[in-house]
Amino acid sequence: MFYWILKYLLVGPVIKGIFRPWITGAENVPKQGAAILASNHLSVMDSIFLPLMLERRMSFLAKSEYFTGKGLKGWATKWFMKGTGQIPIDRSGGSASEAALNTALQVIGAGDLLGIYPEGTRSPDGRLYKGRTGLARMALVAKVPVIPVIMVDTDTMLPIGASRPRIVRVGVVIGEPLDFSRYEGLEDDRFVLRSVTDEIMVALQQLGGQEYVDDYASKHRQKAEEEGSTARSAFS
């Protein structure tokens, strides 16, 4: 109930009035039944605008740090994340990855929509990066379609490191569902998982026209942060 109150009465109307978001391809999201929405990831605002523009409720797997903050800001963040359907997961790997898979399967098993960022983290420079195979495993285990989604200009509105959003019109482009039923029973084959993941990333690249980088975004983000830290130290 709180999800719909936020979306239609409190936060949603304000955000729509300010940023005037647009959407194309909404008809590609099924009216009912489970599906995974695989989106590029440009800004923290992606997890707000995509659910806002869909008629159905959807959930994202969000890093657990969003739910453990201290003080008023931490409480407000936790309140907002829960209210907008975000589900906390531990991204440290190992058994945590299996727990994330099980959490995702619970959402899908209930017949709901699940949002995933196959790049694993925000793009550090607006380019599209190599996808993680966890998404492919979820899709094959759950036997659900994957719907490619492109977020447009959310990085211009709120770049990494910015504290205040700019008034920029943002958009959502939704592509046709991808069917991977031909790989049924092969969810533990790492070559199949890589093939499925790459097919999803190709669909995203073709849908949004982003430059593709055959490397993981996390590696480039870490490098950029280290270079920024070095530069600040040199001038301090």
pLDDT tens by residue, 47-69: 889 999 999 999 987 777 777 87
Contact partners, residue 99, CB within 8 Å, separation at least 6: 89, 90
Amino acid at 16: K
Tell whether the model's pLDDT for residue 233 goes beyond 60.
no
Read off the pLDDT of each residue in 198-220 and give the average, rounded to a whole number.
96
Predicted local distance difference test score (pLDDT) of residue 36: 97
Cα separation, 26 vs 58, whole angstroms: 14
CATH 3.40.50.2300 is right for the domain spanning 34-229: no
Strands (DSSP E) contained in the chain are: 22-24, 35-39, 58-63, 86-89, 113-116, 128-129, 146-152, 171-174, 212-213
Q: Are 102 and 136 in contact (CB under 8 A)?
A: no
Q: Are 135 and 193 in contact (CB under 8 A)?
A: no
Predicted local distance difference test score (pLDDT) of residue 94: 59
Which is more confident, 97 or 210?
210
Read off the pLDDT of each residue in 199-216 and give the average, rounded to a whole number.
97
- Opening angle at CA 181, ends 116 and 33, nearest 5: 55
In the predicted model, what is the mean pLDDT of the chain? 88
Tell whether the model's pLDDT for residue 232 goes beyond 50.
no
Amino acid at 107: V
Read off the pLDDT of each residue in 185-207 and give the average, rounded to a whole number.
97
Cα separation, 72 vs 226, whole angstroms: 30
CB atoms within 10 A of CB 87: 19
Q: Are 130 and 215 in contact (CB under 8 A)?
A: yes
Predicted local distance difference test score (pLDDT) of residue 224: 61
Predicted local distance difference test score (pLDDT) of residue 227: 54
**Element containing residue 105 per DSSP (H, E):** helix 95-109
Predicted local distance difference test score (pLDDT) of residue 152: 98
Phi/psi-derived region of residue 126, left when phi > 0, alpha when psi is between -120 and 50, beta in every other case: left
Identify the band that residue 3 occupies on the pLDDT scale cut at 50, 70 and 90. confident
Closest CA to 116 of 94, 153, 142: 142
Q: Which of 77-81, 155-159, 179-183 has the lowest mean pLDDT?
A: 77-81
For the record, the structure tokens of 228 come out as 């920024």
Q: Are 116 and 39 in contact (CB under 8 A)?
A: yes
Q: Are 96 and 123 in contact (CB under 8 A)?
A: no
For the record, the structure tokens of 175 come out as 């592509």
| pLDDT single digits (tens) 78-123 | 777 777 778 877 766 556 667 777 888 999 999 999 999 999 899 9
Predicted local distance difference test score (pLDDT) of residue 161: 85
Identify the band that residue 231 occupies on the pLDDT scale cut at 50, 70 and 90. very low
